[in-house]
Structure 1
C-alpha cells in the first residue's frame, strides 16, 4: 500500500494506492483544510486512523521548494521533513516533490482523456518535455529521458523576468514597475497575476469598468475567480475582464514557447494548473500556437513541438502516487 499527497496552502489531499491498481485508481481519497492542522504529520495520523494501512512507500507534492528533503509550504507555517515522515510511517521511504515536479511526474502516464491537444506535432522519442502550470502562482518543470524512463526536474522558472513582446505588454511592464521592483512572469501569468492584468486593462487600455463586476471585486478577498467568470461569461461578459484574460493567454503562449526553447522540448509541452481548463476556449484559438511559435529563426523548430493542456485536475496527486511506487 502506498500513500500519496498533494499538499497546498488551502487544502491537502491524501490517498492510498495499491501497486496492482496503479496511480490512476486510488483506493481511498480524502481532502483536509490545511490551515486547521499544525502539521502534515497530524493530517496523516488522522487519515491513517480512519483508513489503517501498512505503508510501503509515500510521496508528497508540496507547494514550495524542496531542498535536502525538507520543504516549507507557501501560506502555511509548516516545515515538512522527509526523514521525520518516514519515521512516523514506520520507516517507509518518503519522497518530497515540488508541486510542479509532481505534475511533471504524472505527464508520462496521462491518458488521452486527461488532455486537450492543441497540436500533435512531431514528438521526438526520448526528447525533453516542458511543463508550465499557471495556478495560484506560475510553476515550471521539465522531464528528461534517462534511457529507461522520464525523470522530472523542478525549477523556479515562473519567477524569471517578464519580457514584453509588443507595445501593450511594454506598457503593462511599465505599469507594474510602479508597484513591483521586479516583474516576473508569475506577476502576469497566474492566479495572483490576473488582478494585475485586470487593473492594467481598466486603468490604461479601456479606462472603464463594468459596475456589477467592480462591486463584486470590491467585496472579494480573492478577485481572480470573479474576473475569470466575468471574462468567460456568454451573457453579460465584462470587456475589461475578457481583455485581461486574452492578455493572460497571450503571455502564457509566449512563455510556453520560451520554456520549449530553454529545455529543447522536442517531446512536447504540457500546460497544467487550474487556470488553463477554465479559459480553454481562448487557448484553443490559433493565435495561441502562433504566439507559441513566434521565435524568429527557431519558429520552424517549435512548429513540430506537440502542445497539450492537462485537463486532469488531480495530476499532482497522480504524479505523487507514481513517484511513491517508483
Structure 2
C-alpha cells in the first residue's frame, strides 16, 4: 500500500493506493481542513488510525516550493521535512513534490475521460510535454522522456514578467504597474489575478460596474468565485465579469503558447488547475487556438502541438501516488 497526499493551505487530501490497481484508483480517500491541524504528521496519524495498514512508501504534492526535501506551505504555518516525516512513519520513504510537479506526474496516467482535447495536433513520440495550471496562483511544469518514462520537472514560470500582446494588454500592464513593482503572469492569469483584471476592466475599459455584483464583491473575502460565476452566467450575465474572463483566457492562451516554445512541447500542452474547467466554453473557442499559435515564424510548429484541458480535480493526488510507486 502507498500513501499519497495533495497538501494545500485550505485542505489536505490523503488516500491509500495499491500497486495492483495503480495510482489512478484510490482505495481510501479523506479530506481534512488543513488549518485545524498543527502539522501534516498529525493529519497522517489520524488518517492511518482510521485506515491501519503497512505503508511501502509515501509522496505528497505541496502548494509551495520544495528545496532539499523541505517545503513551506503557502498560506499555512507548516514546514514539512521529508526526513523528519519519514522518521515519524518508522522509516517509510517520503517524497515531497511541488503541486505542479505532482500534476505533471499525473499526465501519463490520465484517462480520456479526465481530459478535454482542444486540438489533437500531431504529437511527436517521446516529445516534451508542457503543463500550465491557473488555480489560486499560476503553476508551470514540464515533462521529458528519459528513454523509459516521462519525468516531471518543476518551475516557477508563473512568476516571469507579463508581456502584453496588444494595446489593451499594454494598458493593463501600465495600470498594474501603479500597484505592483513587478507584474508577473500570475498577477493576470490566476485566481489571485482575476480581481486585478476585473479592476482594470471596470476602471479603464468599460468604466462601469454591475450594482448587484459590486455589492457581492464588497462583502466577499475572495472575489474570484463571484466574478467567475457572474461572467459565465447564462442569465443576467455581468459584462464586466465576462470581459474579465475573456481577457484572462486570452492571456492564458498566449502564455500556454510561450511555454510550448520554451520547452519545445511537441508532445503536447496540458492545462490544469481549478479555473480552466470553470471557463471551459471560453477556452474551447477558436480564438484560444489562434492566440496560442500566434508566434510569428514558429506559428506552424505550434499548429502541430496537441492541447488538452485537465478536468480531473484529483490529478495532483494521482500524480503524488504515481511518484510514491516509482
Task: Using structure 2 for the length normalisation, give the TM-score.
Answer: 1.00
- Taking the aligned partners of 1:18 and 1:114, their CA distance within structure 2 comes to 20
What are the Cα deviations for residues 104-128 of structure 1, in whole angstroms up to 9, with x where unaligned? 0000110000000000000000100
Deviation at 1:3, TM superposition (A): 0.2
The aligned runs of 1:59-98 (5 Å cut-off) are 59-98=59-98
Tell me the equivalent position of 1:242: 242
Instruction: Report the CA distance between 1:177 and its aligned residue.
Output: 0.3
Partner of 2:143: 143
RMSD: 0.4
Matching of residue 220 in structure 1 with residue 239 in structure 2:
no
Where do 1:312-323 residues align within 5 Å? 312-323=312-323
> Do residues 292 (structure 1) and 257 (structure 2) align?
no
Distance 1:198 1:311 in 2: 25
Q: For residue 194 of structure 1, what is the aligned residue in structure 2?
A: 194
Q: Distance in 1 between matches of 2:15 and 2:85?
A: 16
Query: Is 1:36 the counterpart of 2:36 in the alignment?
Result: yes
Q: Per-residue deviation at 1:87? A: 1.1
Normalised by the size of structure 1, how large is the TM-score?
1.00
- 2:113 matched residue in structure 1: 113
- Alpha-carbon shift at residue 23 of structure 1 (Å): 1.0
Aligned residue for 1:51?
A: 51
Aligned-pair CA distance for 1:193: 0.2
Q: Whole-Å Cα distance in 2 between the matches of residues 26 and 229 of structure 1?
A: 31
How far is the alpha carbon of 1:25 from its aligned partner?
Answer: 1.1
Number of residue pairs matched by the alignment: 326
CA distance, structure 1, for counterparts of residue 67 and residue 171 of structure 2:
37
Q: Which residue is equivalent to 1:170?
A: 170
Stretches of structure 1 lacking an aligned partner (at least 5 in a row): none
Q: C-alpha separation between the residues in 2 aligned to 1:298 and 1:27?
A: 45
| d(CA) in 1 for partners of 2:287, 2:53 | 50
User: Which residue of structure 2 aligns with residue 266 of structure 1?
Assistant: 266
